Amino acid sequence: MRHRLIVPSAAAACLLLAIPASAADATPGAPGVGDSYYPTAGNGGYDVSHYDLRLKYQPKTDKLEGTATLLATTTQKLSRFNLDFALDVSEVLINGKKAAYATTGAHELEITPSSPLEKGKQISVVVRYSGTPSQVKIDGFTAWNRTPDGAVVAQEPESAYWWFPSNDHPTDKATYDVSVSVPDDVQAISNGVLASQSSKLGWTRYNWRSTKPQASYLTTLAVGKFDITTDTTANGLPVVNAYSKDLGDNAASAKASIERSAEIVDWGSTVFGPYPFNALGGYVPNVKTGYALETQTRPFYSPSGFANGANTSLVVHELAHQWFGDSVSVKNWRDIWVNEGFATYAQWLWSEKEGEGTAQELAQYVYDSVPADNAFWTVKPGDPGADKQFDRAVYNRGAVALQALRNTVGDKTFFTILKQWPTENKFGNASVQDFVKYAEKVSGKKLAPLFDTWLFTPSKPGSLPAPGGKA
């Protein structure tokens, strides 16, 4: 992309002067957090604690405009720092003072404060912006999907930079207020709790609030005409589900699945420990994409997920991610197994509970039915590579790995691990290696060789350990 440098006049004058001595030890924040699959994901030098997004969206033109206010703490003395963002910026303020900014690369906004920022300082960053997100293509792709009556943004591993400036990596979670004004004939859906809504001059503003740490890619927005159902769980959590009014034959099957979210979360709480968040639900916009995403508290589902009738298993997968992926997040995107292996295994446990096949039977079936020469076995779930991050091996072989663990340590220890891991790492980040160490600690067994076999070997393992925990 073009390199633009826009310097406000006051700052321009200073830049002509020599750099003051106090600035000498200030350095630029890194343009990435050091993720091995996505070197430009996230940024260094600061930690965001809160995003306040105040947006306005017109579905007819796909025009998005707004102001993002970020509260952050500097982690080094900063001469400048980056945000990940791809829309057009008209102004940046740091602590209320105009800052210079430039667009570099495909999705980096480089911000230079009028004077260096001390380490350990709380700062506010205001970014005013606008754009037509569906037109902003990066490598030919946009995560912002227009629908017949609105738009939706839900994508992994990156989607934020099509709609708000962020430190776009799961290692920097924050709380969110997402306030979106839309024409009165549509609604805006996001994460967490709908704190309030109000209408004036033909526009309705929806104020969504996420008060638990949330990764940027799990922050979602959908605008459109929805049927909204609300309820309260037995524990008093608000449930909000939203179904596009344009789902046709899939509406009933989507509802028959997603309306079971509270029941599934209650079941999950007995297996994975307390539900980490204070709201739940799901939403189905009228998009043609064929995946679902564990957007925090309120997963995104494609209508196609319900094209063959109810699909409770899919809802179990996305809700299991609330523990595995959303509360306990990857440290590095190569750790994707700590998300997908567990969410898939949760589907197997649900099947076991429903009497539709035990996890052992399902694992044995994956093992037996995929021949050794199938490319499936060449993918290492513990480090699949960016291009294979969502390969079915990460999911299915990843879940077989957990069955191999269960068979090796026995049910009692296995279910202790499954419940304690999300509790001990609540709202944190963990690597595959962290899980291996944790399982070794709880079981008192040396398990690294088992995980090497199931997660890090690019060929079919010789056999699946037999159930019984005698290994």
Residues lying near ligand ARG in the complex (CB under 6 A)? 155-156, 291-294, 317-318, 340, 390
Structure tokens at 419: 């419940």
What backbone phi and psi angles, to 5 degrees, belong to 182? -135, 160
**Max CA distance (Å), the chain:** 75
291 binds, among Zn ion, ligand ARG, none (CB under 5 to 8 A by kind): ligand ARG
Out of ligand ARG, Zn ion, none, what residue 383 binds, judged by CB under 5 to 8 A for its kind, is none
Which does residue 259 touch among Zn ion, ligand ARG, none (CB within 5 to 8 A, set by kind)?
none
Q: Quick one: what does residue 189 bind among Zn ion, ligand ARG, none, with the CB cut-off 5 to 8 Å set by partner type?
A: none
Q: Which is nearer to Zn ion, 89 or 343 (CB)?
A: 343
**What does 153 interact with, of ligand ARG, Zn ion, none (CB < 5 to 8 A by kind)?**
none
On whether the CB atoms of residues 140 and 43 are closer than 8 A, the answer is: no
DSSP 270-319: HHH-S--SS-EEEEE-S------B--TTS-B--GGGGTTS--HHHHHHHH
Structure tokens at 380: 């290492």
Q: Which of residues 46 and 337 has its CB atom nearest to ligand ARG in the complex?
A: 337
Q: 66-91 as b/e, with b when 16 or more CB fall inside 10 Å?
A: bbbebebebebbbbbbbbbbbbebee
Dihedral angle sign, alpha carbons of residues 380, 386, 392, 394: positive
Q: Which does 430 bind (CB under 5 to 8 A by kind): Zn ion, ligand ARG, none?
A: none
Closest CB 326 distance from ligand ARG, rounded Å: 10
Cβ 77 vs Cβ 25: under 8 Å: yes
Nearer to ligand ARG, 81 or 395 (CB): 395
Min CB(154)–ligand ARG separation in Å: 9
Which residue in the block uniquely carries the two structure tokens 């796909």? 62
Residue number, 390 or 415, with CB nearest to ligand ARG: 390
Cis peptide before 157 (omega within 30 of 0): yes
438 interface partner picked from ligand ARG, Zn ion, none, CB below 5 to 8 A per type: none
Binding partner selected for residue 156 from Zn ion, ligand ARG, none, CB under the kind-specific 5 to 8 Å limit:
ligand ARG
User: Please, what is the minimum distance in Å from the beta carbon of residue 379 to ligand ARG?
Assistant: 15
Identity (one letter) of the amino acid at 15? L
Tokens standing for 7? 């310097």
Distance of alpha carbon 193 from alpha carbon 150, whole angstroms: 21
Task: State the nearest-atom distance from the C-beta of 294 to ligand ARG, in Å.
Answer: 5
Q: Which is nearer to ligand ARG, 177 or 340 (CB)?
A: 340
Which structure tokens are listed for 73? 């703490």
Residue nearest to Zn ion (CB): 343
Rank residues 313 and 453 by Cβ distance to Zn ion and give the closer one: 313
User: Is 108 or 340 the residue whose CB approaches ligand ARG more closely?
Assistant: 340
Q: Which residue is nearest to ligand ARG (CB)?
A: 291
Of 109 and 215, which CB lies nearer to ligand ARG in the complex structure? 215
User: Per the structure block, which two tokens stand in for 463?
Assistant: 């056999």
Closest separation in Å from C-beta 300 to Zn ion: 12
Q: Which is nearer to Zn ion, 51 or 217 (CB)?
A: 217
Write the CA distances from 394 to 121, 237, 272, 324, 437, integer angstroms. 40, 32, 20, 14, 20
State both tokens at 61: 């033109």
State how far the Cα of 377 lies from the Cα of 462, in Å rounded to an integer: 12
**Residue closer to ligand ARG (CB basis): 7 or 310:** 310
- Do residues 279 and 261 touch, judged by C-beta distance below 8 A? no
Work out how close the CB of 343 gets to Zn ion at its nearest, in angstroms, rounded to a whole number.
Answer: 4
Question: Do 60 and 98 form a contact (C-beta atoms < 8 A)?
Answer: no
Q: Which does 194 bind (CB under 5 to 8 A by kind): Zn ion, ligand ARG, none?
A: none
CB of 248 to ligand ARG, least distance (A): 23
Please tell me the distance from the alpha carbon of residue 341 to that of residue 153, in angstroms, as a whole number: 24
CA angle at 155 for the pair 150 and 157, rounded to the nearest 5°: 160
User: In angstroms, what is the minimal distance from the CB of 282 to ligand ARG?
Assistant: 12
Beta carbon of residue 289, minimum distance to ligand ARG (angstroms, whole number): 7
Minimum distance of ligand ARG from residue 208's CB (angstroms) = 21
Q: Which residue ranges make up the site for Zn ion (CB under 5 A)?
A: 340, 343
User: Which residue, 327, 319, 369, is CA-closest to 347?
Assistant: 319
